[in-house]
Each structure stands twice: as C-alpha cells, then as structure tokens.
Amino acid sequence: MLSIGVLGFIVWAFKWARNFAICWNRLMNSIVYIVLLFLNLNLNLNLNKVDGIFGKLELLSNQQEIEKSSSETYTQSSSITKTISGAKLTFPEHIKSYDPDFLNWFIGFTEGDGSFVIWEKTNKIGFSITQKDPKVLYHIKKKLGFGKVYVCKDTYYRYIVSNRENLEHLINIFNQTNGLRLLNTYNKFIQWSKSYSIYYSIPQIDIIPQQAKITLNEAWLSGFIDAEGCFDAPQRHGRTTFRMRFSLKQKSEYETFKQFPILWGDKKIYLLKNKDIVILTMYSLKSLKFLISYLNKYPLKSIKNIAYNKWLKLYRVIEEGGRGKSYEEIKLMAQNINKYEDEDKVQ
C-alpha cells in the first residue's frame, strides 16, 4: 500500500506539474497576444483611416479572421432550396432565407464592381469584388453566408468566392429571370458558367435568356449606383451658383443606358458616348427628385451613402434658394461631398 501511495504521488505530481506548465504557458501566450494587439492598435492609428477604438478592434479582428485560413470558413455541408420572388434559389443551411431586396441590390452591385474570373488554362473559376470600403464586403459575406474577405497590399479589400458549392450558389443567384441586366456582364456570366461545367466535368448549366429590364420597383439600381454612381455639385461656368448632378458611367452599355430617360420620363437626361464608354448625366430637378424618392425606398449600402447624404443636404439648400447660406458656405459643402472624414467612416 505504501509503494502504491508513493507511486501515485509521483505520477500525479508529474501530471500536476505538466498541467501547471501548460496553463502557465497559455497564460503567458495570452498576455503576449494582448500586448501585441495593444501595440498593433497603437502603431496603426491610421489603419484604413477608421477612427474610434471600436472600429479599429473590429477591423483587427476581421483581419485576424481572414488570415487564419485561405478556405471559405462559412461553407456548409448542406443547402436549402426555396422559391424566392418566383426564382428557385439554393443557399447554405445556416442562412434561413435570402431577402429579395438584398439579392437585387447584390446583383446590381456585382454588375458594377464584380468580376467573373476564369483561369483560361484550367477553366477553374472564381468570383471577386474589390473595394476600398471593407464594411460593404463584410455585409455581402454575412448576407450570402459564404465567401472570404482579404486585405490587399494596395489598401484595397477583396471579397472572394472559390469553393465549388458556393460558386454554385452564385450561379443560381445570377441565373434567374430577374438577374443580370447588363449585356456585357450577362455574356461574361455565360462563359463563366460554361467554364464551371468544364472544370468540374458536369453537364452544361441551362442559362435563362436575359429578359429583365431596369425598373424603379426593385433594389438593382441601388446596388449599381453603389458601385458606379457619382454625386457632385459643379459650379456653373462664370457664375457663383452650383448645379446638382448625378452621373453613371459604364463600358459597352449604350443600349441599356437608353432605358434611363424613359425610366424617369425626362428627356433632359444626357447620354454621352466616348468611344466605348457611356456616361449618363442628370441635372434636372424632376429627374433628381425621382432619384431621391427611389433611394429613400432602396437605400445605398456602401460608403457612397455618406457622399449621397452630403449631396442631399446641399440639394435641399439649393432647392430652397440657398437657405441664407453664403457662396463660400455652399462652395465648401459642394467640395466636401466626396471627401470622407474619419467620423464619416465610423458612422
């Protein structure tokens, strides 16, 4: 009994010492991690120009999350199929459903800033959206339930989908009656889906013919404006007054852009075609009022919403004859529309 007792003491003493060492090591690692995080926080006060302690902590935690693995961590093993707004869609099981307004906004945003990537030698495909504003990319990732956000070396951020199952979800989203609107994007999508079938050795996916038209009854245009829209207020030549202006620019989409004057019922919407680039410009109060009404119903989701709200404040001032503001005050408001201060990004 004495021998057993001595032996037991030695064994458990060893285990206690080992466990103590493990706990001590983890405690030290945690302390070092916290110190490094604090130093990183203080050494990167201008990180992405996001002001405020909570903004920095969120950005750091997001960066640590994306550096853990190159895989798409939100991929699920099973999917759900539901009919949403007349279209059969599949999505990850942990996402209960998709909001039709978000899907329409996402498709519009994709047609402005998205990229259907094909590696020509292998036919492997991927999908990406590149932005300076990481918040909108994390919003997309959360709403779709998959994908990954990476920090690029040039201070840009990139949302990427490369997992087979998630690529199939995207094909399903874009391949619907109320899907892609721009002819150039639609043609790229067709080739992209063909490459998907070739790479994974599956039958060719039936692509629904492009039928959708741009309307004011859905969020597609809001997403496209988030990607390509510009709000400003240029000064009239040789005068001390300003004009409110909204513009859209796109390549190879003249026929599509011809819908906009009809959409707003205003012949004073100007279309300028410079080689292969089409620029739509709106100055008239009639058209701009339609635009404001539309964006009240389908708000912008990216950092461009900050510029829009500044533009809208100036619009109200000019609409009411200046509201007693001086020329210098109005000029400063016009100059600051597309300048993003730190406090704006926190909002």
Q: How far is CA 162 from the centre of its chain?
A: 17
User: If pLDDT is split at 50, 70 and 90, which confidence band does 266 have?
Assistant: confident
Compute how many other C-beta atoms are within 10 angstroms of the C-beta atom of residue 69: 9
Helix (H, G, I), strand (E, B) or coil at 232: strand
Residue 155: band (very low, low, confident or very high) from pLDDT cuts 50, 70, 90? confident
pLDDT at 267: 66
Q: Helix H segments across the chain?
A: 2-43, 53-68, 100-113, 134-144, 164-174, 183-199, 220-228, 254-257, 259-264, 285-297, 304-319, 327-335, 342-346
What string of H, E and C letters represents the secondary structure of 126-142?
EEEEEECCHHHHHHHHH
228 versus 72: the higher-pLDDT residue is 228
Rounded average pLDDT over 195-209: 92
User: Above 70 in pLDDT, residue 20?
Assistant: no
169 has pLDDT over 60: yes
The mean pLDDT value for 237-261 works out to 87
- State residue 97's pLDDT score: 75
Q: Are 88-199 and 220-346 equal in CATH topology? A: yes
pLDDT digits (tens, 9 = 90+) for 285-318: 778 998 999 999 999 999 999 999 999 999 999 8
Q: Is the pLDDT of residue 259 over 80?
A: yes
Q: What is the pLDDT at residue 49?
A: 33
Q: What is the pLDDT of residue 2?
A: 73
pLDDT value, residue 134: 93
Q: Write down the domain spans for the chain.
A: 2-68, 88-199, 220-346
CATH superfamily, with its number, for domain 220-346: Homing endonucleases (3.10.28.10)
Q: Which CATH class is domain 88-199?
A: alpha beta
Confidence check: pLDDT of 238 > 70: yes
pLDDT bracket for residue 164 (50, 70, 90) = very high
User: pLDDT tens digits, residue range 54-67?
Assistant: 333 333 444 444 43
Q: Calculate mean pLDDT across residues 262-276.
A: 78
